[in-house]
Chain A
């Protein structure tokens, strides 16, 4: 991988608050890289350090191989799409887009050529004469994108750019962003708290929590093979059950969950027999049967959700378990109060280092409130 941006053990604190702790990763050329995490996890601070608005307290930031840790933003070849666009209200769309090249003293004919080209990429060529205030939110968003891209930056930094848009527009813009990124082939570094957004667009995702990078991987890796309880709970719905490792053999392990021995993948950290662990299994990987081997759990509620039936059960040890029962398995009669047997393929279950996280972290149930009132 040809790295465009590299973070070398970067640290940042604000007073006593550790905003970013030992961030250490590289971002490749042409990559769509997302930093995902709840508010206060350090993702925006990391982005602002790459942009140059904040300086790291420790470590280095490299851009195209050059240390830019102390370089002011206006001398870095990266551009930012701000959360609330920050378009210049006194300038037309064309002048907004032309702002960067003009500051760089690009000759005017070349500026005009580039602006026209970018307005076509964002499909707003017909609105070049308007002021930002006369555009819709989605249009302003695209102008902000063009204003940054027109400079052909080494990397484009996007700070929750879709946060202010409504759901439908957000989904359309996700596809639009991905199209534009492929079209211009520039590295995108994207900050979001919305897991769906990150999963939809990213080549790789860095999941952050409390200033630390918990895991970096492709959306598939992050979803199917989370390495920490936090990542498992933050992305999608995860059942997190307390388990005790009985034995590890190569790629497989046997663990005890709610008094039952189950087969799983080997633990993600070095742990031997007798160690405490958290067993992670996705709701859609659970099989529900009336009898047979597996973990016994009592059905509390079953809700028909269209593609799946969402069954909420309680295991013998009191843990809540969510199972998504697909159409092919809906011949099992789901009667609340009755006991069922839960089983899964060995490779669907992972043993993670236990944490104090609650049993169920279901992001989809929670309203995304982070955006409200940030202005």
Chain B
């Protein structure tokens, strides 16, 4: 009996290490080592300056870099504007339809990303019904296009990452005690002020998470630009893909990858500092 009591308190000192070991090994093998290999590649072959790839990344592809962040930022803002009201309605007003609506938000994931983007290519295509309809209504000039435009790419990014915005916002709204809204109204706030002073601040962790989950993959995306854009909408992701797979300029491709990663990291750090979510939880 004393033995069992002891067994409960005497812990195996190796237990925590054993628990994290598989994850650590995984990260070492599939994240850290490839990253180091990539870093090695980025400083170029023998005979050229180590910064050659990086120099070319900025001089030759600076505009693609800027465009990537501009498109990703715009897509994030659009996803937020579309996603927040939707998440709000699902969390507070949907009643019994809540699970159905959540299911619909997740539904696109049952089809792959690539197929869905191809579907948009068909919808927005020059011979498609949408262009025809808009042309008939004179909302689009003749010879006007939807496909291969900036807005097609931004729209595609917004569409593809919208669920990643909606779900975290929904979760943070769902956690908010409804009585807090009543309390705010009791304390002289109308519905809008109650939202601004209570609901919105309490949902910021969700907005924060959703924005990161949208912005980061969107900044590195190449499918949307490739399928829905023209060379004028080419994003950095496409350049990297091309350099790795077609041109086979590995040092440049690796350098571009590092530049993208670094800038995303810096932006995320700034964003975290600005929103300061650790105090909200």
A residues neighboring B (CB under 8 Å): 51-53, 72-75, 79-80, 82, 84, 86-90, 99-100, 103-104, 147-148, 151
Contact = CB atoms under 8 A, between A and B. Distances in A.
B179 A104 contact: no
A89 B184 CA distance: 12
B190 A51 contact: no
B180 A74 contact: no
Interface string B175-192: 001011011111111100
A87 B198 CA distance: 10
Contacts of A73: 182, 185-186
Nearest to B181: A86
Contacts, number: 58
Given A88-B180, A103-B193, A147 B187 contact: yes
15 contacts: A51-B186, A52-B185, A52-B186, A72-B190, A74-B185, A80-B186, A82-B179, A84-B179, A86-B180, A86-B182, A86-B183, A88-B184, A100-B188, A104-B188, A148-B186
Nearest to B187: A100
A80 B186 CA distance: 7
A53 B182 contact: yes
Given A75-B188, A100-B188, 13 more contacts: A52-B185, A52-B186, A73-B182, A84-B179, A86-B182, A86-B183, A88-B183, A88-B184, A103-B187, A103-B189, A103-B197, A104-B188, A147-B187
Nearest to B179: A86
Contacts of A147: 187
A51 B182 CA distance: 10
B187 A151 contact: yes
Nearest to B180: A86
B137 interface: no
Interface of B: 177, 179-180, 182-190, 193, 197-198, 201-202, 280
B190 A74 contact: yes
B186 A74 contact: yes
Contacts of B183: 80, 82, 86-88
Given A88-B198, A90-B201, A99 B182 contact: no
A187 to B, nearest CB: 16
A75 B190 CA distance: 9
Nearest to B182: A53
A88 B189 CA distance: 14
A93 to B, nearest CB: 15
Nearest to B280: A90
Nearest to A53: B182
Contact of B177 (A53, A86, A99, A104): A86
A51 B202 CA distance: 25
A72 B188 CA distance: 9
Contacts of B280: 90
Contacts of A87: 183
Nearest to B279: A90
Contacts of B201: 90
Contacts of A99: 184, 187, 197
